[in-house]
Each structure stands twice: as structure tokens, then as C-alpha cells.
Amino acid sequence: MPAFLGLLTALGPAATGAFLALVPAFPGPAAPHDRPARSSCPHVLAVAARSGPLAMACRAFAGPRTGPPPSLRPGGGRARQTGAQPARRTGRPAAGRRAQKAQAVRTARPVGAPRPMGKGAVASAETRGRRSRGQVAVAAALARIGTPFSWGGGSPAGPTRGIGRGARTIGFDCSGLTLYAWARAGVRLGHYTGTQFRQGRRVARGDLRPGDLVFFGGGRGDPTHVGLYLRDGVMIHAPKTGDVVRTTDFARSAYYRARYRGAVRPG
């Protein structure tokens, strides 16, 4: 500031008076960051245009320009760089998408082809496949244990009212029980012991399997009783009037051993 006052003195009274007349237009001292960029400089420059030395003084007093750097002004290079960037394409290239679509077409399941089964479905199918029709028949008969004996009773659908002395009872007779059990396995049998004796192939006693029909009584004629073989010499049957469907170890029974006529495997 002393150098600036010395410069005004050297310029003479007229220049000093002109400058002092313009001093009120300048703001008071301020921190560098508060100084207006070029708020009052137009007035000073107007005078400086008519006085070369005074213009130099005005520039020295006004100080350096404090406006924003060119890189941050509207239209500056950095503003262009920091502006919104174009969205990047994150999808697969067109060639990659075409290859993926072609692969999907090659591996698509043909129309009408069976859907792949899960492990649980496969295991269930295998279990059903291993279960024989005889086992299905045995399971159906076991579910009817305790059902009353009814002469002439029983059908593919279940226990029925019988005939004769069984007319007042809903249940099974011996051939009605076996008829029902094998119907559950998909095999149709006649409702008569002699007929069932001829509806299948004969099976030796040592080759008996669950569900095979075992026959008793009748001498040389048609058997008079039938049951379903369970295992280990045990059968499921409907014995007689007043009794219920139950299991009997015919292999250990003197009565049934003496009257055993053979076995038949239906289907």
C-alpha cells in the first residue's frame, strides 16, 4: 500500500483527486475468499482507459482476478469430463446372445417328451415297481381284519350283505375276501372257491409267495375253503359264520394240514 500511495503522489493532484472520487465504489477490506471477483473494476477501468499510469494503479489495487478457474466455468473442459456419463451396456454382446439362444434351442425338451423326475419321484416309482400284485392283495386283506364273516358277502368294492344265513350281516365269506383283495391288485376273480381254484397257475407249497391263494377241503371235488398266503405258513381268511377275518397258521394246524389242496397264483 505505501508503494501505491507513492505512485499516486508521483502522478499529480489531478490523478489523485480522480482516483479518490472513485474510492467509495470499492468494498472494504475482505478476506481473499470474500473479495468480489470484479465488482468495482469496471468503474476503475473506465478511468484507466483515459490515463495510462492510473490504469496501472487500478490494476495493482484491484489485485488478481478471483473468478472460478477456466476448467470449472460453464463450457470448460473439466465440466464436460465430470458431467453425466453415457450408460454402459452391461448385457452380453449380440454374438453372445445369439449363441446362447442357439444353445437353448438345441437343448430344449421336445414337445411331448416326459419331464425328468426328481430323486423322490424315482424312488417312489421304484418302490411301486417292486411291489407285486400279490403284495397289494395281501395289504388289502390285512386292512379288513376284524370284518365279520357273511355267507355270500363281499365284492370288488368291499364287504356286502350276504345271502342265506349271511343276509343280515355285512362282511365277507372266504371267496368274497380273496375276490376283493385281488380286485385291489387289478385281477378279477369269480365269487366261488371252485372257480378261483382254476383262475391262475398252480404253485408248489415250497414256492408260495404273498397273495397266493391256498385251498382246503372238498375231497376230490372243488375246494370248500380259500385264503391268501401271507408268509411262514400263515394265511389271511374269513373262516366261518360267527367269526371274523383273521390270520391262521395253517402249516401248524392239524385241521388245515389234513385238508390242504394246493395253491394258485392269480393273474
Architecture of domain 132-265 in this structure: Alpha-Beta Complex (3.90)
Q: Kindly list the catalytic residues.
A: 174, 225, 237
Q: Kindly tell me if the per-residue pLDDT of 101 is higher than 70.
A: no
Q: Where do the structural domains in the chain lie, given as residue ranges? A: 2-67, 132-265
Asked if 149 and 243 touch (Cβ cutoff 8 Å), the reply is yes
Distances (CA, A) of 43 to 22, 28, 39, 59, 60: 7, 16, 9, 12, 15
pTM: 0.54
Q: How far is the C-alpha of 182 from the C-alpha of 136, rounded, in Å?
A: 8
Q: How far is the C-alpha of 252 from the C-alpha of 138, rounded, in Å?
A: 20
Q: How far is the C-alpha of 156 from the C-alpha of 18, rounded, in Å?
A: 130
159-198 per-position pLDDT tens digit: 999 999 999 999 999 999 999 999 999 999 999 999 999 9
Helices (H), the chain: 2-11, 13-22, 41-48, 52-62, 77-82, 94-107, 119-130, 133-142, 174-184, 193-196, 254-259
Q: For the chain, what is the largest distance between any 2 Cα atoms, rounded to a whole number of angstroms?
A: 162
**φ, ψ (nearest 5 deg) of residue 212:** -60, 145
Question: Which secondary structure element, helix H or strand E, spans residue 265, and what is its range?
Answer: strand 260-265
Model confidence at 58, pLDDT cuts 50, 70, 90, reads very low
Picking from 9, 5, 15, the residue whose alpha carbon sits closest to that of residue 52 is 15
Residues pairing with 146 in the sheet: none
Q: Average pLDDT, whole number, for the chain?
A: 73
205-248 per-position pLDDT tens digit: 999 999 999 999 999 999 999 999 999 999 999 999 999 999 99
